[in-house]
Structure 1
Amino acid sequence: MSSPVEDRVRRIGENVRIARRARGKSVEALAGLVGRSKSWLSKIENGRTRLDKRTDIVALAEALEVSADFLLGHPAPEIRPNHPNYNLVPLQRVLMDAGPDDPPDMPARPVEVLRTVLHEADMAFRRADDATLIRILPDLIGELYVHIATSLEPVRSEALKMLILAAGCKAAFMSRGLGEVHLAYLGGERGWQAAELLGDPVWRGAAAFGRAHARCSAGTPKPLLMTPRIADEVELHIGDDLFAHQVHGMLRLSAALACEVLGDRDGAAGQVGEAARLAEPLGDAPDAFEYFGVANVGVWRTTLEVEAGRPGQALEHANRVDPRALPSHSRRAMLLLERARAHAMLDRDEDAVRELRKAEQLSPSMVHNHPFIKELVADILDRRGGRDVRGLAWRMNLV
């Protein structure tokens, strides 16, 4: 039987120490490989300094020859009070075992009906209603596979487009929010597979966005690094199509993040600037692809400034965002999470905890399973404690 110490979620610094020792490297040697001081690395490993920048995690993972996923760790397996116990087996089964040439043995409702179900899934995703998504996505994805395998055009193409949104975006992003990294990866790959079969460059771009964010960007996954090139490809096919403009805009934001995690600040600024230019005439449409619009660009700008280590500028961008213009709980929660990270960088722990509690009310799974937020809460708990942060830590399985 495992002990409470063995069962608790490890801090990122502890994972760094485990990997460093396994590779037979000294603290001094590893610090030199990543261009940091020995004291900095010692503080990281001992939990006295928070490790929450993607560029640092990427550098350490490369130097240690491990995946960034290992350093970030995984959600704790135990069930805590107020943590719903979801059955993800049906979703896992359809993502793993079904395919365009091997659909599940089940009746398929007409595509017109499935379009309504997809809209229901989108509304649930906006509310961060994981229970509804887990209930409806497996059958929706399975029935779309049936149509892809058995229907003629234009029904087959319509089913492929819907599969990109259902598996490549909704299933992937929900699973990542729940900490189910393998399911998120499968969803992103299934969406990409559908886009390749469809052969439409704009929809290929939509699938590329889902695939790029199915995994944590700290690991510099290849799909994320591909987004600058894919954004350029989509730009050639935009025309007057509103959906194409939105897909292009989200790819530019993804490209900005790709540049940032690689340390290319000028490239990141250019990409996010282009996204802002694209969003300005579009405003904030609630049904836009992945909520592309002025407000969402503001959220991404906030994230990029936090990643660049500029908390003051991050808060300036965050303060310009009208949360009411963000149509989903997840984007509003992300804005609050980035505000919390910025406040923590400025040693404003009380402000950070306040933002985290607000975010938790909007999207509990996102807060509880976000690796950087888990690191942030653990760090604040170690340094100052307090009822509010202890409650957060308990709900995140950190104590």
Structure 2
Amino acid sequence: MASDGIGEIEETAGSDIPFGTRLKLHRSRRGLTREVLGGLVGRSASWVKALETGRLGTPKLPLLLKLADALRIRDLAELTGAGSIPVEPFSGPGHPRLPAVRAAVNAFAPAADRPVPGLPHLRARLRGAWRARHAAPDHREVLGALLPELIEDAQAAVHAADRESHRRAARAVLSEVYSLAQFFIAYQPAQSLLWRVCERAVVTAREADDPRALGIAAWLMVQAHRDAGDWDAADAVAEGALAHLGAHLDRRDSDELRSLWGSLQFEAGYTAARRGESGAAWHRWDTARRAAERLPAGFYHPVTSFSRAVMGAHAVTVAVELRNGGEGVRQSLRSEAHTIPSRPRRARHRIEQARAYRLDGREGEALRLLAQAHAIAPETIRYNGHARAMIMEGLHSREHRARAAGLADRVGVPA
């Protein structure tokens, strides 16, 4: 039997192991305290304890899905002991273009007879892909169509490079292509593929010795570690990347590097907020804000969206992660979502605003904001676990069921 108790659950899946016991063992395996797990699902540590000790029964489906997401469980049977109920239909679909992107990433090597495009041409295509991603309401469809050939061409450019300087330049492009792929793969049922491109982006950027590529790759790596619940690893990556970028901020082209430095400061604050460390979270946010104010007016990073415009959206996220709905609403009213150029980022901001209103007990306003997010970028809300959970919660509300049902139909949430 496994020492953490999970082996007992796996070996006796059909036996009558109480829900609370299963929950406690999975929580222990993930290394989460009751307070942290409760915060991740919008409940208290005492609520988690009541579940684990059997004073409360198995929660309803919306909360079960939140627990499964926080514990990285892919089948609700691991918690309930009932028949297999995969989480994917509730947490989000796999995009039809995912197999083609996976095949391009997994290819052993480019075909020997494949024409190799020049690096200026590859860079122009990459810039165009970022612009298309920010402009499109169906941004995953757009990226899914572009990525397979872009990945293969960037890989071919690295293999064909005949000088080390050319190889480093090609690796910088390839690293950013892998970073672009993460925006397509994230929040789909493809965790191993996500980690593969995440790690390749970092390694390739290091081999390129390119601060910009490494800053982008590290920014995404921090998010991946945080979403996986490994907050210490997220902090380690953020601090290492901040130190690396900090050594380059006096360069003539430092505006972009400063924006990446600011992006990483915010991500460190995001992680602190998820830990419940309010002072550290807001300090990091303020440091990022000051970095944004040093950038030229109108500057907007083509990858991270870092800018003056996005800092209000970041403030909403910090408040929400600290489980402070009232502050989240206040920050929401102060933010100016219409100034965010990126449609996916603007839609995500609406979802974060909805989370704030939901925490503040204003479910109708939350659903209204989710409808706005869907109008801005349907593919953002379709793959967002927080949005899907809020819609499912609305389906269980007598007052708001009709509005939630309409959203569920459009987003693809099982009603």
Please tell me the TM-score bracket, short chain as reference. Answer: 0.7 to 0.9
Shift of 1:273: 1.1
Corresponding residue to 2:160 among 132, 135, 150? 150
Residue 131 of structure 1 aligns with an amino acid whose one-letter code is: E
Hey, what's the Cα distance between the residues in 1 that align with 2:126 and 2:195?
A: 20
Alpha-carbon contact 2:347-2:376 (below 8 Å) kept: yes
Tell me what 1:64 maps to. Answer: none
Aligned residues: 365
Q: Percent identity?
A: 21
Q: Does 1:119 align with 2:122?
A: no
CA RMSD of aligned residues (A): 3.5
Shift of 1:391: 2.2
Corresponding residue to 2:199 among 173, 189, 192? 189
Shift of 1:90: 2.1
Residue 380 of structure 1 aligns with an amino acid whose one-letter code is: G
Q: Secondary structure at the match of 1:213?
A: helix
TM-score, structure 2 normalization: 0.77
Residue 175 of structure 1 aligns with an amino acid whose one-letter code is: I
Hey, what's the Cα distance between the residues in 2 that align with 1:357 and 1:393?
A: 10
Tell me what 1:161 maps to. Answer: 172
Hey, what's the Cα distance between the residues in 2 that align with 1:287 and 1:23?
A: 39
Q: Secondary structure at the match of 2:304?
A: helix
Hey, what's the Cα distance between the residues in 2 that align with 1:237 and 1:200?
A: 11
Q: Does 1:339 align with 2:353?
A: yes
Residue 300 of structure 1 aligns with an amino acid whose one-letter code is: H
Shift of 1:120: 2.1
Tell me what 1:230 maps to. Answer: 241
Q: Does 1:131 align with 2:141?
A: yes
Hey, what's the Cα distance between the residues in 1 that align with 2:27 and 2:219?
A: 38
Which string of whole-angstrom CA distances, capped at 9 and with x for unpartnered residues, describes residues 187-230 of structure 1? Answer: 21221121121123453222111222246626236652321342
Q: Secondary structure at the match of 1:90?
A: helix
> 1:300-315 counterparts in 2 under 5 A?
300-315=314-329
Shift of 1:156: 2.4
Q: Secondary structure at the match of 1:36?
A: helix
Q: Does 1:390 align with 2:405?
A: yes
Q: Secondary structure at the match of 1:238?
A: coil
1:21–1:39 Cα change, 3 Å: closer
Residue 23 of structure 2 aligns with an amino acid whose one-letter code is: R
Q: Secondary structure at the match of 1:383?
A: coil
1:306–1:210 Cα change, 3 Å: same
Hey, what's the Cα distance between the residues in 1 that align with 2:233 and 2:292?
A: 23
Which string of whole-angstrom CA distances, capped at 9 and with x for unpartnered residues, describes residues 357-379 of structure 1? Answer: 11012222321222222222111
Q: Does 1:358 align with 2:398?
A: no
Which string of whole-angstrom CA distances, capped at 9 and with x for unpartnered residues, describes residues 112-170 of structure 1? Answer: 221221122112210242222111111111111111122135432332222222212x2
Q: Does 1:239 align with 2:250?
A: yes
Q: Does 1:370 align with 2:384?
A: yes
> 1:42-53 counterparts in 2 under 5 A?
45-47=58-60, 50=63
Q: Does 1:280 align with 2:293?
A: yes
Which string of whole-angstrom CA distances, capped at 9 and with x for unpartnered residues, describes residues 27-59 of structure 1? Answer: xxx969974244477769413985899xx989x
Residue 412 of structure 2 aligns with an amino acid whose one-letter code is: M
Hey, what's the Cα distance between the residues in 2 that align with 1:243 and 1:33?
A: 35
Tell me what 1:175 maps to. Answer: 185
Q: Does 1:268 align with 2:281?
A: yes
Hey, what's the Cα distance between the residues in 2 that align with 1:271 and 1:334?
A: 21
Residue 413 of structure 2 aligns with an amino acid whose one-letter code is: N
Residue 248 of structure 2 aligns with an amino acid whose one-letter code is: H
Alpha-carbon contact 1:157-1:198 (below 8 Å) kept: yes
Shift of 1:265: 2.1
Tell me what 2:23 maps to. Answer: 20
Unaligned 5+ segments in structure 2 are 1-18, 38-44, 80-85
Tell me what 1:9 maps to. Answer: none
Task: Select the structure with the greater relative contact order (CA < 8 A; seq sep ≥ 6).
Answer: 1
Residue 402 of structure 2 aligns with an amino acid whose one-letter code is: R
Q: Secondary structure at the match of 2:46?
A: coil
Hey, what's the Cα distance between the residues in 2 that align with 1:117 and 1:111?
A: 10
Alpha-carbon contact 1:217-1:224 (below 8 Å) kept: no
Q: Secondary structure at the match of 1:125?
A: helix
Hey, what's the Cα distance between the residues in 1 that align with 2:90 and 2:362?
A: 31
Which string of whole-angstrom CA distances, capped at 9 and with x for unpartnered residues, describes residues 323-346 of structure 1? Answer: 232121111111100111111112
Alpha-carbon contact 1:44-1:51 (below 8 Å) kept: no
Hey, what's the Cα distance between the residues in 2 that align with 1:124 and 1:18?
A: 48
Which string of whole-angstrom CA distances, capped at 9 and with x for unpartnered residues, describes residues 240-263 of structure 1? Answer: 311210110111111111222223
Alpha-carbon contact 1:318-1:339 (below 8 Å) kept: yes
Hey, what's the Cα distance between the residues in 1 that align with 2:95 and 2:217?
A: 29
TM-score, structure 1 normalization: 0.80
Tell me what 1:76 maps to. Answer: 89
Shift of 1:390: 0.6
Hey, what's the Cα distance between the residues in 1 that align with 2:36 and 2:273?
A: 20
Corresponding residue to 2:271 among 255, 258, 263? 258
Q: Does 1:200 align with 2:214?
A: no
Alpha-carbon contact 1:340-1:353 (below 8 Å) kept: yes
Which segment is superposed worse, 376-385 or 344-353?
A: 376-385
